[in-house]
Structure 1
């Protein structure tokens, strides 16, 4: 088996099917694409949901079509108050103007088509969209993509690089609207500004930021891992029934400045369960973790798929 990152994508032999098969990021300036942005109720695609879909279709650097749609779900449409404060989207608004999620996502997937996708921190958006496309048996969202945030980090090194920061620096706007279509249009303006000012050297630097790491070869340096390393200083135990090789998983964790444990212990941070075992209430490892937590521990149980996708998020960051 092997565990490695190639051009920002995590590869784990034997369990690759557990990782979202999203496309390949490649920093570049292209003239035909779909620029997109979504609004959600939170950061976690396993727990939160999409409230708004927005995008513009671009041909020869010109906007030729737009997409904007609020989304309503058959069950809960609760919107946290801090989200409403940010973008004005409320549950009542979704119920009044939202389109059923399956219908909305089907139309959005058709709008995107086979285009290269561009967005600001677009991997976040793609996680939600990928899962919705899969849920409704739509064409897999494996489109390659450009992340404008990666370009911003090279163009504005050692600075805060929110979309708001970029649109203010470029004189595009003073506020971020936090709506899918409006933010897509603003992100296009940021992308066009970078297109005008980037040098070949800056673009090459951005492309060189994609991770290429053998996670089993040797202990990695802090600069290789970056500050988004999800296992940094975490004590991690793998349940016996996980499909990934326990030996290689432990070696990977140790190489990434984590601490692999043999069996769950009182000081375990993450207990990685098989996807089936995660939902079993009588799993021995779950029962041990529950006992420790009752005594004051703070063990988080993660399914194997969740853990691997968490690593893939790091690989793509």
Structure 2
């Protein structure tokens, strides 16, 4: 075990997760040495014939965050150490700010750290890990979701499974927190056991989330932290197939928080009742859990509470399963799948649409500045999927997409007029979701599993 004497708590946590990344790749973390460059600057070096100062990874810990830097030019052996910092032609560098105490996204960065480490000791070519993602229409797979090694989305209809549902403060795992976990264990399509826990977030729950879910800050005062609640939830889930409605969003939260807690991915296979419903009930204009339950004449008393949504998902799944079997519906076709511009000017470049895509036929509105592509390109992607672009939020809007910076700012109360209107419509029961730019990229690249 590495000597961590004199390290900050943030650095110890980061190193522990990196150590697990080494172990999962059958690499010896004992070969790594540390060099304290300053009171806040820590370098990770190899011990295999390295020149002094040739670090492959650096940590700079602050009070509320850790900066992680990877630089291939620092570990390139063909450059003398005196030239490395001046040879900018060969510079290939990325930095990440990791928020504490949750260390958001560090698990995904571990894969890149391993890549650079193997390159630095000459055992592997660089896999372009440090190249900035180019999220164009042709290359959407480089989004954050690329680094999630999740289970498989199934097109079968199991009779032994666990239905899951989470309540969160939003839909983006980088900025939002879990506030409720629920699961229902099912054997032979009969309920065998249940699990439920509220989860105390680091930040206070906003008024919109309180009104939407009915979960107040007072209710969360004595709830366990996610570090305590999620492992209990995962022990209950075990290695069962999980079922949920639009379950990818739930799985993404479970996956990312599990990686932060123990450094291991959530790999359970899963079934999405939203995708089944869109195939089995094409006559419905909306496929929210509420819409499906009402169509199937199921009681739907409470919405946006995890246990109630689990029970409703379970009932909907049984009904949908009967419809699929009775009608011989083939589920194997469920596949994976800011410029000033007017929505009416953006036309689809194809007539062949994937009608199973989450954005097909959905009205999308963008607000704020996108980080990774201009708004015209984002709107073109929506059109090519078969979605409908609009300039303003109305009762017909299904998704309001906020630029990442605007999404983060909105958590602290800085909301645009479009977001305020969308929140009002959501509370009135309209089929509208407010998502970040990051979630939008996940949807266009992985929403079909």
Global fold match (TM > 0.5): yes
Which of residues 114, 120, 138 in structure 1 aligns to 2:245?
120
| Aligned partner of residue 136 in structure 1, secondary structure | helix
| Aligned partner of residue 92 in structure 1, secondary structure | coil
Runs of at least 4 residues off by over 6 Å: 14-17, 234-239
Which of residues 218, 228, 232 in structure 2 aligns to 1:103?
228
Q: 1:238 to 1:180 in 2, by over 3 A?
A: closer
Which of residues 320, 324, 336 in structure 2 aligns to 1:194?
320
| Aligned partner of residue 91 in structure 1, secondary structure | coil
Matches within 5 A, 1:42-61: 42-61=170-189
Question: In 2, are the aligned partners of 1:19 and 1:308 still within 8 Å (CA)?
Answer: no
Which of residues 22, 25, 35 in structure 1 aligns to 2:153?
25
2:263 corresponds to 1:142: no
Q: Who is 1:85 aligned against? A: 211
Deviation at 1:17, TM superposition (A): 8.9
Which of residues 29, 32, 38 in structure 1 aligns to 2:166?
38
- C-alpha distance in structure 1 between counterparts of 2:145 and 2:198, whole Å: 31
Deviations 1:42-81 (A, max 9, x none): 11111111110000111111111111000013x32x2122
Question: In 1, are the aligned partners of 2:169 and 2:177 still within 8 Å (CA)?
Answer: yes
TM-score of the aligned structures, taking structure 2 as reference length = 0.47
- C-alpha distance in structure 2 between counterparts of 1:123 and 1:112, whole Å: 16
TM-score of the aligned structures, taking structure 1 as reference length = 0.64
Matches within 5 A, 1:1-317: 18-73=146-201, 75-76=202-203, 78-96=204-222, 98-137=223-262, 139-159=264-284, 160-199=286-325, 202-204=328-330, 206-211=331-336, 222-224=352-354, 226=357, 228=359, 309=442, 311-316=444-449
- C-alpha distance in structure 2 between counterparts of 1:66 and 1:17, whole Å: 30
- C-alpha distance in structure 1 between counterparts of 2:370 and 2:226, whole Å: 37
Q: 1:80 to 1:59 in 2, by over 3 A?
A: same
Residue segments in structure 1 that go unaligned for 5+ positions in a row: 2-9, 213-218, 240-249, 259-269, 273-300
Tell me how many residue pairs correspond in the alignment. 244
Question: In 1, are the aligned partners of 2:161 and 2:242 still within 8 Å (CA)?
Answer: yes
Deviation at 1:120, TM superposition (A): 0.6
Question: In 2, are the aligned partners of 1:109 and 1:138 still within 8 Å (CA)?
Answer: no
Question: In 2, are the aligned partners of 1:27 and 1:150 still within 8 Å (CA)?
Answer: no
Larger RCO of the pair (alpha carbons < 8 Å, separation 6+): 1
- C-alpha distance in structure 1 between counterparts of 2:317 and 2:271, whole Å: 10
Q: Whose Rg is larger? A: 2
- C-alpha distance in structure 2 between counterparts of 1:87 and 1:222, whole Å: 38
RMSD: 3.8
- C-alpha distance in structure 1 between counterparts of 2:143 and 2:446, whole Å: 16
Q: 1 or 2, which has the higher helix percentage?
A: 1
